[in-house]
A and B are shown apart, each in its own frame.
Chain A
C-alpha cells in the first residue's frame, strides 16, 4: 500500500494507448494472464529483477510494506483468493459462510495442507496466526486493521478443520483482507519459538505453506526460493493447483528501472517488475519482450485540497483548481499513454465500486476556472500577474518531498499544473522538504495541497480518505461532512455488494462535485517479460503472481 518520459510521435503514442487498453481488458477478463505457448515445462530457474527487498519487513503480520506482501506471496498462502473482478475463491479454506448479522465468518479448511517445516495447517494454526496478528507485541501496522481493527473480536476453533472469526460489528472488507499476504499463515512452530526473529527473515523463520520456500536471503542482492514439491493446494482461480514448475525462483534486487529493463534484454533476468513508462515503451519496441500493464485499484494518484483553513476553504477556489489544470495534457506528456488519466477518486479496476458515469464530466475548462475565481472575489492583480483580494495574493503551497516528486516522475506533473495555474493568476508554491519536516507539517495540516496514491482492491479506501475523524491522515483534505460519514460507514458494514456499489457511487460523485480531491492518473504496474517465460499473472493489486510461471530456458 505504501511506495521515476520520453517524447514520441502521436502515432506511437496512440498505438501504446490501444495496447495498454487491450492489456487492461485482458487483465479484467482472465486475471492478467499472458499468452502461454505450449505445454508448461517443469524445471529450470526463473530470475526476476525487482526494485526492492523486504529488509526488516519479513513479518507479514506486522509489516505494511507493499514489497513485503508482493515478495512473500510465494511463501505465505491465505484462506481465500481474490481475482481481478473482485470475486473470492477457495484456497486454504474449502468453503466459508457469513452469518446473517455479518458478525460470524466460518471457514472449512483443507485437511491436506502442511507448512514447509512439516507442521500441520489446521484450525489451531489459523487461530495461532490471527492471535499473533492482534497481539499488541506484534505492533501490527496493517494486518490487524485488515482483520477488522476494533471490529475484530476473536478467532474460535470449532473442530480440527473448522474455524470461526467473530466480529463485534459487521466489517465488509474482511474477506478482501483475508485474501492478502498480510493475513497469510506462518508456521505455528515459528510463532511459538522465534516470533522476535520474524521481521529480520531467513529460511528458518520465513516458513509458510506456499508453492516456494525461502532458500537464501542475501541482503542487498537477492532472494532465492526453492520449489515446495508437496504443494497441492493452489487457489481456486488458477489453472495449476499442484507444485510450481520451475525448480527455483530468484528475485534479484536492481533498484534502477533502466537497469532492470537492460538486464531483461541481455537475458540476465526473465522478468522485470515496476518499470517506468519510458523503459516499458522502449522494451515494447524490441522483439522477444512483452509488457503486462495492470492498472492499480484503489485511490488513484490524487491531489488533496486542504479545506480546513485558508484559501481552499472556499469551494469555488477548489473547483477552479479542479477545472483549471490540464490533467489530460500533463498525464499524456509525462507518461506517454502508459498511465491513464483518472476521472474518479477510485481507479477503474477497483472491484464492485467504480462509477464510470463520472468519466468526461469535468474536463479542463480555463474560462470556467477564471470565472469561478472572479466570482470568489479574487479580481485584483499584483505586479507579477497573480490575483489578489484584500491585499493578499492567491497563493497555494504544495507540501512534498524530493523522493515523492521523483517517484513516477510526479514532480513533472506538479510543474505542469503550476504553469496552468499561473495562467489563471494562481501562484502554486512547490518547495520539497525533508521527510521529517514533511511529516510534521502533514500532521499539523500546514499545507494547501498534498498528494499520494493508495493501492487497494477495496473501495473501503474511501472511508480512510473521507471520514471526518481520519483528518489529516488519511483524510488529508479535511473533509467533514455528516452525509459522507454516514455513506462510508454504512458501506463498510453492509455485506450487500449492490448497496455498497450504490453508496460508493454517491461518495465518488460527492468528492468531485465538492472538489474535495483532484484525481490525476491511475498508475499501472508495468512488468516486462521475456518470451522465454509464460504463465505470468498479476493479482488484483497488479503485483506479479509467480506461482503459474514456467520457463522454456533450460
Chain B
C-alpha cells in the first residue's frame, strides 16, 4: 500500500462525490415543479408575494448555475447548508438521525451474516437444503413492509414481547433488525451455499481429501474461503444500500433515522438535505469499496502475490 495508491484512491473518491452531487443537483432542478410550491402543497392559498419571499430567503431566486457554484463552494468548506423544510442546519439534522440508522443497519447486517453462515453450513442434507431454499425464497420475495407488520402483530401486539419502537433500548431494536435482516440473510445464504458447492466440485477438493483432511477442516479452511469472496462483495454492496431498506423499516416501526429523513426530504423537495444525503451515500460506497479492496488480498493469496 503505497502513498501514491492512497492518493489515487482519494482523488477517485472526490471525483465520485463531485459526480454524485452534480448529478443530484441536475436532477433536482430538471424535475418539473417549483420547490416552494411543492413544499407548500397543492391546497395552499399562499399568495405569490409570500412565495417570492420564501424563494428569496432560500436563495432559489438566483440563477441555477450560481446556485450550483454556491452549493459546491459551501460543500468544499464542509458547510451543508440549512434545510428548507426543517429550518435547521443540515449537518445537525443528519448527524442526530445517523446513529439510529447506523445502529439498525449494523445490527441487521451482523444478524444477516450470522444467519447466512449458520444456514449455509448447517443445511447440507437434501431435506434441510430444500427447507432452507424455500425459506430463503419466502424471505426474499416478501415485501419488508409485510414482514414487519407480521412480526409486529405476533411479537408486539399479541405476545407483547417487544415494544413497537421508540427510545426503549435494545428490546425496541429486535423487530426492526429482524425485518431488515431476513431478506439480506436469504440472499447471502443462497450465494454462500452456491459458492460452497462450486468449491467442492473443484479438483483441489479431491487432493485435499486425498491428503486425509477431514470434512470439517475441508469446509472451514478451504471451501469457506473460496465461497466467501463473492459473499464479501455482495455484503459490501448490501451494506452500502441499506439506506433504502431502512426507509420502510423506520417508517413502519416509527423509528427515527436517516431513511425517514431521506423520504421526507425527497417528497418535500428539500434540496439541501437531499444533496447532503447524496454526499453521505457516495462517501459510504467509497469507504465500503476501499475496505473490500483491502480485504480481498487477505482472503485470496493470489492477489497478495500480484501486489
A454 vs B42: C-alpha distance when bound (angstroms)? 11
Output the nearest chain B residue to A136 by Cβ-Cβ distance: B53
Identify which of A218, A222, A266, A470 contacts B160 (C-beta below 8 A): A266
Given A259-B253, A436-B32; A64-B164 close (CB under 8 Å)? no
Q: How far is the CB of B151 from chain A (nearest CB, A)?
A: 11
Cβ of A473 under 8 Å from chain B: yes
Contact between A221 and B166, CB atoms less than 8 A apart: yes
Contact between B167 and A474, CB atoms less than 8 A apart: no
Contact between B252 and A452, CB atoms less than 8 A apart: no
Task: Name the A residues within 8 Å of B255 (CB-CB).
Answer: 220-221
A71-79, A105-113, A249-257, A357-365 - interface stretch: A249-257
20 CB < 8 A contacts A-B: A141-B46, A219-B86, A220-B250, A221-B254, A254-B165, A255-B252, A256-B149, A256-B251, A256-B254, A259-B149, A259-B152, A262-B152, A263-B157, A268-B163, A435-B42, A435-B267, A439-B33, A439-B38, A440-B32, A442-B42
Cβ of B54 under 8 Å from chain A: yes
Query: Which residues in chain A, 137-157, are within 8 Å of chain B measured between CB atoms?
Result: 137, 139-142, 145
Cβ of A258 under 8 Å from chain B: yes
Query: Which residues in chain B, 52-84, are within 8 Å of chain A measured between CB atoms?
Result: 53-54, 57, 83
Task: Name the B residues within 8 Å of A219 (CB-CB).
Answer: 86, 93, 96-97, 256
A145 vs B47: C-alpha distance when bound (angstroms)? 10
A75 vs B166: C-alpha distance when bound (angstroms)? 23
Identify which of B50, B93, B251 contacts A141 (C-beta below 8 A): B50
Contact between B164 and A265, CB atoms less than 8 A apart: no
Task: Name the B residues within 8 Å of A473 (CB-CB).
Answer: 42-45
Output the nearest chain B residue to A141 by Cβ-Cβ distance: B46
Contact between A436 and B31, CB atoms less than 8 A apart: yes
Q: How far is the CB of A306 from chain B (nearest CB, A)?
A: 14
Contact between A55 and B43, CB atoms less than 8 A apart: no
Query: Which residues in chain A, 158-184, are within 8 Å of chain B measured between CB atoms?
Result: none
Q: How far is the CB of A486 from chain B (nearest CB, A)?
A: 21
Task: Name the A residues within 8 Å of B49 (CB-CB).
Answer: 136
Cβ of A21 under 8 Å from chain B: no
Contact between B251 and A56, CB atoms less than 8 A apart: no
Cβ of A437 under 8 Å from chain B: yes
A436 vs B44: C-alpha distance when bound (angstroms)? 14
A227 vs B261: C-alpha distance when bound (angstroms)? 30
Cβ of B225 under 8 Å from chain A: no
Q: How large is the interface on A (under 10, 10 to 19, 20 to 34, 35 or more residues)?
A: 35 or more
**Could you tell me which A residues sit within 8 Å of B by CB distance?**
1-2, 55-56, 64, 136-137, 139-142, 145, 197, 199-200, 218-222, 252-256, 258-259, 262-263, 265-268, 403, 434-440, 442-443, 452, 454, 464, 470, 473-474
Contact between B32 and A220, CB atoms less than 8 A apart: no
Identify which of B37, B164, B251 contacts A263 (C-beta below 8 A): B164
Given contacts A435-B267, A470-B45, 8 further A-B contacts (CB under 8 A): A141-B46, A142-B45, A220-B255, A221-B166, A254-B165, A255-B254, A262-B156, A473-B45
Identify which of A141, A200, A267 contacts B88 (C-beta below 8 A): A200
Task: Name the A residues within 8 Å of B86 (CB-CB).
Answer: 55-56, 199-200, 219
Contact between A64 and B85, CB atoms less than 8 A apart: no
Q: How far is the CB of B100 from chain A (nearest CB, A)?
A: 8
Identify which of A55, A141, A438, A440 contacts B40 (C-beta below 8 A): A141
Cβ of B260 under 8 Å from chain A: yes
Q: Which of B50, B53, B83, B153 has the most CB of A within 10 A?
A: B50
Contact between B41 and A2, CB atoms less than 8 A apart: yes
Given A200-B88, A220-B260, A258-B149; A253-B254 close (CB under 8 Å)? yes
Query: Would you give the 0/1 interface string for B232-257, flagging 1 where the beta carbon is closer than 8 Å to chain A?
Result: 00000000000000000011111111
Q: How far is the CB of A230 from chain B (nearest CB, A)?
A: 29
